[in-house]
């Protein structure tokens, strides 16, 4: 990390400390009892720390589709992330983590838009953190117990995608109900509708 990038991150963190609740719309994911098998599976799912690296594609068409997606959404993200390097790292990591969890990247982008407005250091009134507004109890339940790590790009996206996939499994693939569970508003329409509406803006 360059000195300039470090200074930008420090400035962003200072802004969060001075105005911690600004624009963070997350509800409160509810801590639920997990069976030993589910806890073990989720712990393994978040534990791998391999960097995303360039995606590996099965065909030229798949690679071209990714490049079109990245170019289009990089342009859409520019007003929110001014630096090209930051946008590229964010989109590459998001693609990797969403694909790894079997999620549509546009859905994850829509969720982030609603949850944190793409603010890396967002904190909600309920204490949810980062881009995907992950509740700190998850780091105790399936992580290493360090909530501060939820401000790390790949860690936040890894947890958020794994948790959303877990909720989709619990809801037997019902995205509406899974999104409500993610937000702590299961069964209410406002949050799922907001995320699904935002998802459409990120589809290519």
Listing DSSP states for 154-190 in one string gives: HHHHHHHHHHHHHHHHHTTT-HHHHHHHHHT-TT-SH
Give tens-digit pLDDT for 46-84.
886 665 677 778 899 999 999 999 999 999 999 999 999
This prediction has a pTM of 0.81
- Which of the four pLDDT bands, split at 50, 70 and 90, describes residue 27? low
Q: Domains of the chain (ranges plus CATH)?
A: 3-201 (1.10.530)
């Amino acid at each position: 990390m360059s000195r300039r990038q470090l200074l930008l991150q420090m400035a962003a963190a200072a802004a969060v400390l001075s105005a911690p609740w600004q624009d963070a719309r997350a509800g409160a994911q509810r801590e639920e009892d997990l069976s030993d098998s589910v806890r073990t599976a989720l712990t393994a799912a978040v534990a791998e720390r391999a960097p995303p690296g360039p995606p590996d594609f099965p065909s030229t068409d798949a690679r071209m589709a990714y490049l079109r997606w990245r170019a289009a959404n990089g342009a859409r993200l520019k007003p929110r992330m001014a630096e090209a390097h930051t946008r590229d790292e964010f989109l590459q990591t998001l693609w990797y983590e969403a694909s790894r969890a079997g999620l549509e990247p546009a859905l994850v982008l829509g969720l982030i838009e609603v949850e944190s407005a793409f603010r890396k250091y967002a904190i909600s009134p309920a204490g949810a953190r980062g881009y995907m507004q992950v509740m700190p109890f998850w780091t105790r339940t399936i992580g290493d117990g360090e909530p501060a790590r939820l401000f790390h790009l790949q860690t936040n996206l890894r947890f958020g995608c794994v948790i959303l996939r877990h909720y989709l499994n619990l809801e037997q693939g019902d995205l509406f109900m899974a999104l409500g569970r993610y937000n702590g508003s299961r069964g209410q329409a406002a949050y799922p509708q907001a995320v699904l509406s935002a998802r459409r803006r990120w589809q290519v």
